[in-house]
A and B are shown apart, each in its own frame.
Chain A
Amino acid sequence: MKDIQSIRKDFPIFSHDPSLVYLDSTATSLKPQCVIDALTEYYARYSANVHRGIYDMSEKATLEYESARERVKDFINAQYSEEVIFVRNTTEAMNLIAYALGRKIVSEGDEIVTTIAEHHSNFVPWQQLAFENGAIFKVIQVMPEYDYKLHPEHISQVITRKTKMVALTYISNVLGVINPVRDITKAIRRANPETIIILDAAQASPHIQLDVQHLGVDFIAFSGHKMCGPTGIGVLWGRKELLKKMNPFMFGGNMIKKVSLNFTTYNDVPYLFEAGTPHIAGAIGLKAAIQYLETLNLKEIELYEYQLAKYAINELKKAFGDKIRFIGPTNSPNKIGICAFTFLDYHPHDVAQILSDEGVSVRAGHHCAMPLHESLGLEASIRASFYIYNTEEDVEKLIKSLKKVEQIFHVNL
């Protein structure tokens, strides 16, 4: 990976605000200039619609949009570009599966399995699907004994002939631990080869290499904005044979071949799932983001983040000892740059507010993972997350600001 100072130069936000300590990349990442340029270039030079015009500009827009799809295909090592569907974000991708496939195949008495570590976007769609279709909703726990990782056997034990779908996260946005997805997939397939496996890769795509063929899942979803790309663009990848069995999720332009008074013939996959004018600039920006991450090299990104998070955890322990309670593993080799914790009895909102006054941006709350917080006996937590542009100085500023929190609240509560 190139040196950190030149990476920081790629992100114009640091020249606007050199003192910015941004520790909330898990919520959304900052954007490099090359992504901003790709968006601007589309809007300034060839802002035509796709798959429609016969004129040059529209051909160019279509070409760029489709080359973004191609780039995503390579990025996740998919076999076919038509397996790549552009959506708004991971949430939309999950809803698409739940509506276009789930409501078709899940019947009364069937089972849907998910885990306690899910973001609400990979929890609520399945909970509601189970509720509507009369299915049983099973939730797998994570345990400190296994570094809070999902255990293949724990999952396969609950899989039965009735299990239609399993939805799980690659990396929890709170725990930060990388789940052994390939092993989990194998264990699920052994228990029931028919079960559809859906992977939330929102926290994986920015940090580690994705290989859909190696992972062996049926669907993967992720968002562009967490991986240096624009907001409003995300990806759903699905196996071609499954996508072809699915109903359209939305109806309208682009998803049709022929419309007459009494019937409509649908377009092919993936256009069938991209009704209406898509986020063209977003897809083009996502392509630029992927190029950027690949130039930095995802293996090296993963290593850099791991080292920085390890440094942060050690320094926080040194500075605060037992006053800090970490959520998730503190000593796992399979962890990305997510560091969630509580600080004495201080309310996370108060902590985050004072950190903000000190110029440090962290997240406070349940991070859209209420079931996980509840299972850990917490209402909320503080989360500092690290990405390619964060430095050890950021960690030091975090510690200095936490000392300020202590100073303000320091009285026996």
Chain B
Amino acid sequence: MSIYKDIILDHYRNPRHNDLPNNSKFTINVDNPLCGDIITLGLNIKNNRIKDIGFVGKGCAISIASASMLYDYALDKNISDLQKLDSSFMLNMLGIELTPNRLKCALLSLEALTKILCQIKI
């Protein structure tokens, strides 16, 4: 079955939160040099919840769509809940199966979020 479902194509064509928030207090860059994908994520926190979130990036449909969907999900969520997210959450959210090669595309946005949340704890 094709992984290019309507919902993924929709998020790829019109990514949500596709701009860095003004004055984001936290930002991070992650990349996947093997395919050239790159994501810059920015966010602000209030009362342990994500207040603003946004990203800019370059990448394949899977990496852009997963960033769009993940960051849309993350808005207003509690940091400690977000820290528990893993690859099976991502696959569930995307609703597709991926080969190991393409899994990396789907997990880049999660890597950005996980790393930025680690910074915040410090």
Stretch of B2-10, B83-91, B112-120 contacting A (4+ beta carbons < 8 Å): B2-10
In contact, A380 and B2 (Cβ under 8 angstroms)? no
In contact, B34 and A347 (Cβ under 8 angstroms)? no
On chain A, which size bracket covers the interface?
A: 10 to 19
In contact, B9 and A408 (Cβ under 8 angstroms)? yes
In contact, B36 and A380 (Cβ under 8 angstroms)? yes
Bitwise, B73-106 to A at CB < 8 A (1) or not (0) is 0000000000000000000000000000010010
In contact, A379 and B2 (Cβ under 8 angstroms)? no
B20 at the interface (CB under 8 A from A): no
Q: A365 vs B105: C-alpha distance in the bound complex, in angstroms?
A: 13
CB closest chain-A residue, reference B31: A379
In contact, A349 and B60 (Cβ under 8 angstroms)? yes
Interface residue ranges of A350-372 to B (CB < 8 Å): 350, 353-354, 357, 365-366, 370
Determine the main DSSP class of A at the interface with B. Answer: helix
In contact, B61 and A350 (Cβ under 8 angstroms)? yes
Q: A366 vs B37: C-alpha distance in the bound complex, in angstroms?
A: 12
B25 at the interface (CB under 8 A from A): no
Q: A214 vs B91: C-alpha distance in the bound complex, in angstroms?
A: 56
Partner of A366, one of B36, B59, B102: B36
Q: Identify which of B3, B34, B35, B36 gathers the most chain A CB atoms within 10 Å of its CB.
A: B36
In contact, B58 and A354 (Cβ under 8 angstroms)? no
User: What is the count of residue pairs linking A and B with beta-carbon distances less than 8 angstroms?
Assistant: 37
CB closest chain-B residue, reference A408: B4
In contact, B9 and A365 (Cβ under 8 angstroms)? no
In contact, A379 and B13 (Cβ under 8 angstroms)? no
Q: A408 vs B9: C-alpha distance in the bound complex, in angstroms?
A: 8
In contact, A411 and B13 (Cβ under 8 angstroms)? yes
CB closest chain-A residue, reference B13: A411
In contact, B34 and A365 (Cβ under 8 angstroms)? yes
Report the minimal beta-carbon distance from B16 to chain A, rounded to whole angstroms.
Answer: 16
Bitwise, A373-388 to B at CB < 8 A (1) or not (0) is 0000001100000000
A131 at the interface (CB under 8 A from B): no
In contact, A409 and B105 (Cβ under 8 angstroms)? no
B13 surroundings in chain A (CB, below 8 A): 411, 413
Q: A411 vs B14: C-alpha distance in the bound complex, in angstroms?
A: 10
Partner of A409, one of B9, B33, B102: B9
CB closest chain-B residue, reference A378: B36
A380 surroundings in chain B (CB, below 8 A): 35-36
Bitwise, B30-74 to A at CB < 8 A (1) or not (0) is 000111100000000000000000000011111000000000000
In contact, A353 and B35 (Cβ under 8 angstroms)? no
Partner of B60, one of A347, A357, A366: A347
In contact, A357 and B2 (Cβ under 8 angstroms)? yes
In contact, B59 and A347 (Cβ under 8 angstroms)? yes
A379 surroundings in chain B (CB, below 8 A): 35-36, 58
Report the minimal beta-carbon distance from B64 to chain A, rounded to whole angstroms.
Answer: 9
Q: Identify which of A347, A354, A411 gathers the most chain B CB atoms within 10 Å of its CB.
A: A347
CB closest chain-A residue, reference B98: A353
Q: A348 vs B61: C-alpha distance in the bound complex, in angstroms?
A: 10
Q: A354 vs B33: C-alpha distance in the bound complex, in angstroms?
A: 22
Q: A409 vs B61: C-alpha distance in the bound complex, in angstroms?
A: 9
Q: A122 vs B60: C-alpha distance in the bound complex, in angstroms?
A: 29
In contact, B102 and A353 (Cβ under 8 angstroms)? yes
B58 surroundings in chain A (CB, below 8 A): 379
A408 surroundings in chain B (CB, below 8 A): 2, 4, 9
A353 surroundings in chain B (CB, below 8 A): 3-4, 102
Partner of A365, one of B2, B3, B35: B35
In contact, B102 and A349 (Cβ under 8 angstroms)? yes
Q: A365 vs B35: C-alpha distance in the bound complex, in angstroms?
A: 6
In contact, B2 and A347 (Cβ under 8 angstroms)? no
Report the minimal beta-carbon distance from B108 to chain A, rounded to whole angstroms.
Answer: 12
CB closest chain-B residue, reference A345: B58
Report the minimal beta-carbon distance from B67 to chain A, rounded to whole angstroms.
Answer: 13
Q: A347 vs B33: C-alpha distance in the bound complex, in angstroms?
A: 14
Bitwise, B1-29 to A at CB < 8 A (1) or not (0) is 01110000100010000000000000000
Seed contacts A348-B35, A353-B4, A413-B13; 12 additional CB < 8 Å A-B pairs:
A349-B60, A349-B62, A349-B105, A350-B4, A353-B3, A365-B34, A370-B33, A379-B36, A408-B2, A408-B9, A409-B9, A411-B13
Which positions in A face B, CB cutoff 8 Å?
347-350, 353-354, 357, 365-366, 370, 379-380, 408-409, 411, 413
Which positions in B face A, CB cutoff 8 Å?
2-4, 9, 13, 33-36, 58-62, 102, 105
| A-B residue pairs, 10 tightest by C-beta | A379-B36, A347-B60, A349-B60, A350-B60, A350-B61, A411-B13, A380-B36, A408-B4, A357-B2, A349-B35
14 examples of A-B residue contacts, CB within 8 angstroms: A347-B60, A348-B35, A349-B35, A349-B60, A349-B102, A350-B4, A350-B60, A350-B61, A353-B4, A366-B34, A379-B35, A379-B58, A411-B13, A413-B13
